[in-house]
A and B are shown apart, each in its own frame.
Chain A
Amino acid sequence: MTDGGAREDRDGLAAGASSGQPGGRLDDLITAVALGDERAYEVMYDQSASWVLGAALRVLRDPAQAEEVMQEVLLEVWRTASRFDRSQGSGISWLMTIAHRRAVDRVRSERSHASRELRAATATIDYDDVIEAVQASLDRERVQRCLGSLTALQRECVGLAYYSGYTYREVAELLDVPSGTVKTRMRDGLIRLRDCLGVS
């Protein structure tokens, strides 16, 4: 073989598949799922179902509905894994975007205008069911700490939008702040959060 020296480099490139952080691993799982790999799908479920359920539960506050959303999302992932484009973001981001959008779409169709109350937005979540895995608690701690680095208004804007599924106009109404201000606070808050989490 003439290119024996090159083999090691290629090897390194191929071996990159198995190395790296959980995020990189999820990217590879999604690619395998796109190829119909059932085992990969099961591993992906075990890794990410709790993320999807948790995000849906925060938005919907109804376990039965959150479970339905989780199942819909995991099914959508199976169906559309081939649409995952790594150049547009990580697998975690792809998955959680699908999850959050579904939860938000559902909460908005459920939520009647009359029942939109700030109370729902500030209700605390029941931590009894919160997953105890070390990784999850580390994530939670880090996110809490980074949310703490936001200004109060940024934090409220991000929280009401992400965890309660309100539009920026609704957030503006709830907080009695101009909607233009809310838009920029959401943006600034997310950028600060991104920098703090180191996930760009």
Chain B
Amino acid sequence: MTMPDHELHTLAGPYAMDAVTAAERASFTAHLADCEQCREDVREMREATARLGLAAAVRPRPELREQTIRAAYRTSQLGPFAASEVEPRGEDTVASPAAAARRSRSRRPFPLRLPAASVLAVAAVLVVVAAVLGGMMSSAMEQLHHSQQRDHMIAAVLNAPDAVMLTARISTGGTATVVMSHRERAAVLTAHGLAALPSTEAYEIWLMGPTGQRSAGMLRPQSGGMAGPAIVIGLRTGDVIALTVEPASGSRTPTSVLVVVFRPRH
């Protein structure tokens, strides 16, 4: 039995805490698709309920860590690309770029999952990014927009219909993964196991194409040699994404050997 809309609205609070029956949950979930205000309400309330959970934190028994992590690695992940696609996950997860490219080529096309509003938002963000890069915004405005831009860009790239994922070993140690979308003209790069560098050096990301090479920012490792996700903006057809080791302040052109190169097939 379906509830009238005005009745459904009042379920936002209970829904945000799972204090509804399965049937109510289903109706309200369906209702959310058409009610932007409800989505926003639930989103905000869930930020609060999440903290109720955090406040109850209890340290798990140490032996559970190994069990859980091992179970996860035996489990297939849903690919970042298609909602319905389940990608087998095997030894080739850390594969050569060629193998990864083969996999991505065999992946069938799928519909764009972002709602139209998000696409517009992403377009707007791209305009904002252009404005930021053009130096047209004050630094205060930049600060304000950075985190939102990042979120939208990452989601847009991962969900792009032409997104391609490549994984490769870094010659100096570690593994880098890049998801690139020519449609979004951007890529998202993550790495782990990066070799630690002296403080005078840093990893720099490059876009190298027929028209030359451009720095796409620095990649700063965090704890455990993990880095990213870094957003690479301004991807053009024919571009190769590469990583080099440069002086900590960055270089205008690459000065070291390329420690990893991603060559997308077109």
B142 at the interface (CB under 8 A from A): yes
State the Cβ distance, B233 to closest chain A Cβ, in Å: 6
Do A27 and B80 touch across chains, with their CB atoms under 8 A apart? no
B69 proximity list for chain A (CB < 8 A): 38, 41-42, 45
B158 at the interface (CB under 8 A from A): yes
Do B158 and A37 touch across chains, with their CB atoms under 8 A apart? no
A65 proximity list for chain B (CB < 8 A): none
A28 to B225, CA, bound (A): 14
The listed residue (B17, B57, B150, B233) touching A186 by CB distance below 8 A is: B17
- Interface size on A, as a range, is 35 or more
Count CB-based A-B contacts (< 8 Å).
Answer: 323
Do B55 and A143 touch across chains, with their CB atoms under 8 A apart? yes
Do A96 and B77 touch across chains, with their CB atoms under 8 A apart? no
Do A197 and B13 touch across chains, with their CB atoms under 8 A apart? no
- Known contacts being A43-B226, A70-B60, is A194 close to B19, with CB within 8 Å? no
The listed residue (B21, B41, B165, B252) touching A167 by CB distance below 8 A is: B21
State the Cβ distance, A193 to closest chain B Cβ, in Å: 4
Do B190 and A199 touch across chains, with their CB atoms under 8 A apart? no
Nearest B residue to A31 via CB reads B229
Do B51 and A139 touch across chains, with their CB atoms under 8 A apart? yes
Interface of B is mostly: mixed
- Known contacts being A3-B214, A41-B72, is A194 close to B58, with CB within 8 Å? no
Do A87 and B56 touch across chains, with their CB atoms under 8 A apart? no
Given contacts A14-B217, A162-B19, 8 further A-B contacts (CB under 8 A): A1-B213, A14-B219, A16-B147, A28-B228, A35-B80, A87-B151, A131-B59, A143-B51
B residues contacting A by CB (< 8 A) are 10-14, 16-21, 39, 41, 43-61, 64-65, 67-69, 71-73, 75-81, 83, 89, 93, 118, 121, 129, 132-135, 142, 146-147, 149-152, 154-155, 158, 165, 167, 177, 179, 188, 190, 192-193, 205, 212-220, 222-233, 250, 252-253
A residues contacting B by CB (< 8 A) are 1, 3-7, 9-18, 20, 24, 27-28, 31-32, 34-43, 45-46, 49-55, 57-58, 67, 70-71, 74-75, 78-83, 85-90, 92-93, 95-97, 99-101, 104, 125, 129-131, 133, 136, 139-140, 142-144, 158, 161-163, 165-169, 171, 180, 182-191, 193-194, 197, 199-200
